[in-house]
């Protein structure tokens, strides 16, 4: 079910609840007594950040409930199991930094990790619009990577959260295109574009976002290698978490109304705290009472509609822009083994493709199944993306459309909203100080990619840094 449909569906249900007293005979047959769930903390969103936060709080004997819109945990994690061979293919989150949070989290859930092996094969750079071959950017890539790394080392505070200095350096505020020119990064642009996939027309927006994403940790991982789930793909981590969290997770559930009272942690006694109305898939309404709420979803779109935003929160969240990122697996009969097709512009700066477009097509461990990605500034429907990708594949492979040989999607995921950013002016206006200042405001805390950058391990580290403040607030609130 797509999000807009879900929203309409829930709106309708909610409306019918309000109308219930007016037409009792219509409703009583289905009405069930509303269930109330009381926990210390309510976490909205069961992706990388929400699940990790839930596990860490439970370790501290703090009770939680996780509200997740989808029928599974893991967010951007997508694993397809090939029915023929049983081979898992991760076409969402696949690579993890070799860091203590990664190793400990996997160990806690008994999911095995191994070092990821460089995939061999052939890389072809092609302008997908025309099918013509594109030369790699000229120059020495390792020297350009060293220049890039030196920029990062001058701004070590970028490694953790958004704590920009009083006088924000121009290198962070200028567009990434200008930074690339200034430090002659052309030869390493392809590598950066591969590891920051899903980022939109990033030559045009503030360099700080690319510097955060392609971080020192990521550069280190490029040299030392990544870790990956070695059994049944990345989803195994979240399946294990679901088993462990059990009844503390409400799947296919969204918050449709909220009342977050009890402001600055001074509240005591009855009547204080948060009350969230949650609509579950089986048409049941659940009331969640909690001392604190943690938002583990990008603060954009439907998730905010059920939230009782105040003017300050609404103003801050209103600054965010985001891109649209789609991935999938496509069956392409007779696809050349090991072939990776990278969409490049024959006549664009650094050969970066113009959006919207198919970004790459790559062979997987299963013959004739390729992984594809598509990036856009504007939302696109699943049908539009799938059709564009199918046509690109045929054009690039130089094939005619034939019914029995047509590329066919076997899996698809829309990862929007992806890579939340604000304007240069907002950053200069100390947007991120005000965003950080939201932590704890109205007993609400925030975790996830928006507050760090899109990488599981840095997101988990950010949760660990925030935990003491969450626990302190809870102690103040409950007199525990």
Ligand X SMILES: *[C@@H]1O[C@H](CO)[C@@H](O)[C@H](O)[C@H]1NC(C)=O
From 43-51, 163-171, 176-184, 345-353, span contacting ligand FAD (CB under 6 A): 43-51
Beta carbon of residue 123, minimum distance to ligand FAD (angstroms, whole number): 19
Judged by CB under 6 A, the residue of 449, 462, 466, 470 near ligand FAD is: 449
Beta carbon of residue 78, minimum distance to ligand FAD (angstroms, whole number): 7
Spatial separation of the C-alpha atoms in residues 462 and 474, rounded to whole Å: 19
Q: Within 211-250, which residues bind ligand X (CB under 6 A)?
A: 240, 244
Does 110 participate in binding ligand X (rule CB under 6 A)?
A: yes
Spatial separation of the C-alpha atoms in residues 378 and 208, rounded to whole Å: 22
Q: Which two tokens stand for residue 102?
A: 């990664």
CB 295 within 8 A of CB 69: no
Partner interacting with residue 414 (select from ligand X, ligand FAD, none; CB below 5-8 Å by kind): none
Q: Within 216-245, which residues bind ligand FAD (CB under 6 A)?
A: none
**Site track 402-431 with ligand FAD (rule: CB under 6 A), x = hit:** -------------x--x-------------
Dihedrals phi, psi of 354, to nearest 5 degrees: -80, 135
Determine the size of the site formed for ligand X (CB under 6 A). 9
**Site track 288-327 with ligand FAD (rule: CB under 6 A), x = hit:** --------xx----xx---------------------x-x
Residues 6+ positions from 106 with CB-CB distance below 8 Å: 96, 112, 113, 227, 229, 237
- In the complex with ligand FAD, the residue whose CB is nearer, 182 or 232, is 232
From 89-97, 183-191, 287-295, 376-384, span contacting ligand FAD (CB under 6 A): 89-97
Q: Within 141-180, which residues bind ligand X (CB under 6 A)?
A: 142-143
- In the complex with ligand FAD, the residue whose CB is nearer, 186 or 302, is 302
CB 407 within 8 A of CB 331: yes
Beta carbon of residue 51, minimum distance to ligand X (angstroms, whole number): 13
Beta carbon of residue 320, minimum distance to ligand X (angstroms, whole number): 35
Where residue 198 falls (left for φ over 0; alpha for ψ -120 to 50; beta otherwise) is left
Partner interacting with residue 352 (select from ligand X, ligand FAD, none; CB below 5-8 Å by kind): none
Judged by CB under 6 A, the residue of 103, 109, 251, 410 near ligand X is: 109
369-376 and 408-414 beta bridge pairing: unpaired
Spatial separation of the C-alpha atoms in residues 403 and 416, rounded to whole Å: 31
From 89-97, 140-148, 348-356, 358-366, span contacting ligand X (CB under 6 A): 140-148
Spatial separation of the C-alpha atoms in residues 213 and 217, rounded to whole Å: 10
Does 42 participate in binding ligand FAD (rule CB under 6 A)?
A: no
Rounded to the nearest 10 degrees, what angle do helices 48-59 and 235-245 cross at? 40
CB 185 within 8 A of CB 148: yes
Beta carbon of residue 469, minimum distance to ligand X (angstroms, whole number): 17
CB 91 within 8 A of CB 66: no
Partner interacting with residue 61 (select from ligand X, ligand FAD, none; CB below 5-8 Å by kind): ligand X
Q: Which two tokens stand for residue 256?
A: 């449709």
Chain contacts with ligand FAD (rule: CB under 6 A): 44-50, 67-70, 75-76, 92-96, 198, 254, 296-297, 302-303, 325, 327, 415, 418, 448-449, 454-456, 459
Residues binding ligand X (CB under 6 A): 60-61, 109-110, 140, 142-143, 240, 244
């Amino acid at each position: 079910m797509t999000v807009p449909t879900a929203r309409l569906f829930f709106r309708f249900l909610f409306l019918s609840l309000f109308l219930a007293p007016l037409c009792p005979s219509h409703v009583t047959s289905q009405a069930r007594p509303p269930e109330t769930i009381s926990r210390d903390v309510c976490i909205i969103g069961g992706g990388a950040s929400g699940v990790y936060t839930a596990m860490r709080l439970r370790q501290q004997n703090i009770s939680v409930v996780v509200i997740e819109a989808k029928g599974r945990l893991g967010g951007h994690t997508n694993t397809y199991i090939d029915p023929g061979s049983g081979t898992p293919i991760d076409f969402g989150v696949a690579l993890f930094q070799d860091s203590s949070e990664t190793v400990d989290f996997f160990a806690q859930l008994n999911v095995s990790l191994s070092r990821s092996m460089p995939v061999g094969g052939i890389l072809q750079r092609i302008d997908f619009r025309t099918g013509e071959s594109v030369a790699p950017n000229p120059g020495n890539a390792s020297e350009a990577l060293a220049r890039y790394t030196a920029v990062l080392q001058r701004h070590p505070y970028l490694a953790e959260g958004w704590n920009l200095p009083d006088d924000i350096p121009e290198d962070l505020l200028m567009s990434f295109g200008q930074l690339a020119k200034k430090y002659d990064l052309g030869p390493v642009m392809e590598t950066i574009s591969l590891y920051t996939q899903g980022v939109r027309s990033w030559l045009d927006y503030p360099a700080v976002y690319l510097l955060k994403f392609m971080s020192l940790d990521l550069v280190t991982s490029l040299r030392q290698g990544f870790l990956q789930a070695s059994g049944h793909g990345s989803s195994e981590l979240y399946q294990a978490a679901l088993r462990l969290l059990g009844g503390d997770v409400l799947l296919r559930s969204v918050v449709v109304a909220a009342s977050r009272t009890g402001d600055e942690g001074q509240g005591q006694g009855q009547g204080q705290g948060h009350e969230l109305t949650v609509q579950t898939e089986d048409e049941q309404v659940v009331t969640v009472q909690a001392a604190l709420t943690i938002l583990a979803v990008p603060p954009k779109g439907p998730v905010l509609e059920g939230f009782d935003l105040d003017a300050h929160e609404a103003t801050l969240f209103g600054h965010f822009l985001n891109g649209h990122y789609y991935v999938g697996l496509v069956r392409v009969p007779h696809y050349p083994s090991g072939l990776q097709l990278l969409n490049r512009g024959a006549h664009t700066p650094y050969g970066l493709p113009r959006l919207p477009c198919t970004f790459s097509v790559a062979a997987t461990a299963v013959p004739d199944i390729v992984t594809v990605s598509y990036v856009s500034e504007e939302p696109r429907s699943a049908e539009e993306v799938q059709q564009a990708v199918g046509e690109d594949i045929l054009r690039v492979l130089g094939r005619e459309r034939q019914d029995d040989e047509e590329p066919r999607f076997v899996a698809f995921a829309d990862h929007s909203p992806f890579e939340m950013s604000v304007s240069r002016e907002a950053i200069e206006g100390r947007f991120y100080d005000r965003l950080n200042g939201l932590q704890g405001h109205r007993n609400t805390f925030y975790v996830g990619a928006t507050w760090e950058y899109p990488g599981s391990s840095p997101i988990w580290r950010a949760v660990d840094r925030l935990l003491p403040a969450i626990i302190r607030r809870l102690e103040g609130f409950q007199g525990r």
